[in-house]
Amino acid sequence: MPGFEVLGEEERKEVLDVLSRKVLFRYEFDKERQGIYKVAEFEKAFADYCGAGWALAVSSGTAALRVALAALGIGPGDEVITQGFTFVATWEAILDIGAVPVFAEIDDTFCLDPGDVARRITPRTRAIVPVHMCGGQARIEEIIAEACRFDLPVIEDTAQSCGGRIRGKHVGTYGRMGTFSFDSVKTMTTGEGGMVLFQDEEAYIRASEYHDHGHDHDPAVGRGLEKRNFIGFNFRMMELQGALGLAQLRKLDRAILAPQRENKRRIQVALSEIPQVQLRSSPDPDGDIGSFLMFSLPTAGQARSFAQVMKEAGCPPVYWYDNTWHYYGHWEHLLGGKTPFRSGYPFRTPEGATRCTYDPDALPRTAERLSRCLTIPIQIRMDDQIPKIIAAIEKAARVL
């Protein structure tokens, strides 16, 4: 996820433009900033790029999820369905807002299994959060159809698939909202930062107010004299991040996604020649952003052996089954109900009653899939690495 690889003169110029005006806050100070609002400009550019109606820039991808949930009014007593293969931020945001994450299985896209969603729905379910993992796409149209049967909104966690499409339509624009991350290792980066896309103005307005301490942003009055429709918090993006985002967005298709996809294709050709290798499924392979090359072996033992040979050759793949940040089975703080709060919240009520518990063996299909899966991270500048990776793949194939 290599936006940092192309940081250069364009980003420098945008940042210096902000510094020359000495205004880092996204609101106010119109005279000093000479009418230049980088965050607002970034929001409009990103919405236009994705084909969304509205966009709200926030302080992180985690904040984007938190704000999206708040805009839907989700909180204590509610349940939100998501998947057991994702970065911890997905379910942290759900717990942090007071709701309970309910985990479902993944399918061969390594994203939320539409067929497993219905059996997770209860009278308390208020939303579904599929995650477009590792540069790919969930079967989002099937998930949306399932959600519509129960009149549930969908928030697409698109933190790892910025720029991805399905037959030309951007992921992150199918559901009621889509969230994105621009942290230091994402496809395009602002160091920290995130974005929420909206299909309706009402949700956008609620989110905009919530992310800025509840300010109603009434243009008829000055900052500080605005009213508040409800309480909020501070999840604002600052102008330096907006400036970086503008420069990175201009490079996204040409200088990031195009070479990334080509590098993935070159390595995938070598994998395709191995009969035992099964490549990841995709609703639209051409719309994958190319940031990860995921493939499976027939057994977990073969996957481990394959990975070991590649590691010894200096090209270790990612083995998600052992990963502690992305796989349900290794989220020890979630499974153990660990919290900094004396009451035990969010796993317990203030009175000590259990709110939610998690069984490490609750997602057997997810565990089985991940135990056989290996992943090669893809970057932009890989000309020296690709021959080594291909040689490691060819060597590993001999142990099968």
Same structural domain, 124 and 167: yes
Q: Residue 16: pLDDT band by 50, 70, 90 thresholds?
A: very high
Report pLDDT for 30.
92
The residue from 31, 186, 251, 264 that is catalytic is 186
Within-domain flag for 336: no
Last residue of a domain, one of 252, 281, 315: 252
Q: Which pLDDT does position 222 carry in this prediction?
A: 82
pLDDT tens digits, 157-190:
999 999 999 999 999 999 999 999 999 999 999 9
Give me the mean pLDDT over the 3-17 stretch. Answer: 96
Strands 125-128, 79-83: pairing kind? parallel
DSSP label at 80? E
Contacts of 99 (CB under 8 A, 6+ apart): 69, 74, 75, 76, 77, 78, 79, 80, 126
Q: Give domain status of residue 149, yes or no.
A: yes
* Same-domain status, 385 and 307: yes
Domain that holds residue 295: 253-326+363-397
Q: Which two tokens stand for residue 6?
A: 């192309």
Q: Does residue 131 carry a pLDDT above 90?
A: yes
For residue 109, pLDDT over 70 is answered with: yes
Residues 211 and 264 in one domain: no
Mean pLDDT of 248-263: 98
136 part of a folded domain: yes
Does residue 283 share a domain with residue 231? no
241 band by pLDDT with thresholds 50, 70 and 90: very high
| 322 within a domain of the structure (yes/no) | yes
What is residue 60's predicted lDDT score, i.e. its pLDDT?
98
Contacts of 340 (CB under 8 A, 6+ apart): none
Residues 171 and 279 in one domain: no
pTM (two decimals): 0.96
Domain boundary at 252, 267, 292, which?
252
- My answer on whether 306 and 168 are in the same domain is no
Percent of the chain's residues with pLDDT above 90: 97
Q: Residue 2 contacts by C-beta under 8 Å, 6 or more apart in sequence?
A: 185, 187, 256, 260, 291, 379, 380
pLDDT at 1 > cutoff 70:
no
Q: What is the pLDDT of residues 331-348, one digit of tens each?
A: 999 999 999 999 999 999
**Average pLDDT for the chain:** 97
Q: Phi, psi (5° rounding) for residue 284?
A: -160, 95
Q: Is 186 a catalytic residue?
A: yes
| Lowest-pLDDT range of 2-11, 91-100, 229-238, 384-393 | 2-11
Query: How many Cβ atoms are within 10 Å of 294's Cβ, its own excluded?
Result: 23
Beta strands in the chain (DSSP E): 54-58, 79-83, 100-104, 125-128, 155-157, 165-166, 169-170, 177-181, 194-198, 278-279, 292-296, 373-377
pLDDT digits (tens, 9 = 90+) for 185-219: 999 999 999 999 999 999 999 999 999 999 999 98
> 69 and 203 share a domain?
yes
pLDDT at 224: 83
Same domain, 319 and 386: yes
Report how many domains make up the chain: 2
What average pLDDT does the segment 359-368 reach? 98
Residues 160, 308 within the same domain: no
The CATH number assigned to the domain holding 293 equals 3.90.1150.10
Q: Would 342 be classed as within a structural domain?
A: no
- Across 117-127, average pLDDT: 97
- Which residue, of 226, 252, 278, is where some domain finishes? 252
Residue 333 lies in a domain: no
Residue 376 contacts residue 320 (beta carbons within 8 Å):
no
pLDDT for the residue 223? 86
**358, 95 in Cβ contact below 8 A?**
no
Higher pLDDT: 3 or 242? It is 242
SS3 118: helix
If asked whether residues 152 and 40 sit together in one domain, one would say yes
Give domain status of residue 351, yes or no: no
Residue 276 pLDDT exceeds 80 = yes
> Do 206 and 285 fall within a single domain?
no
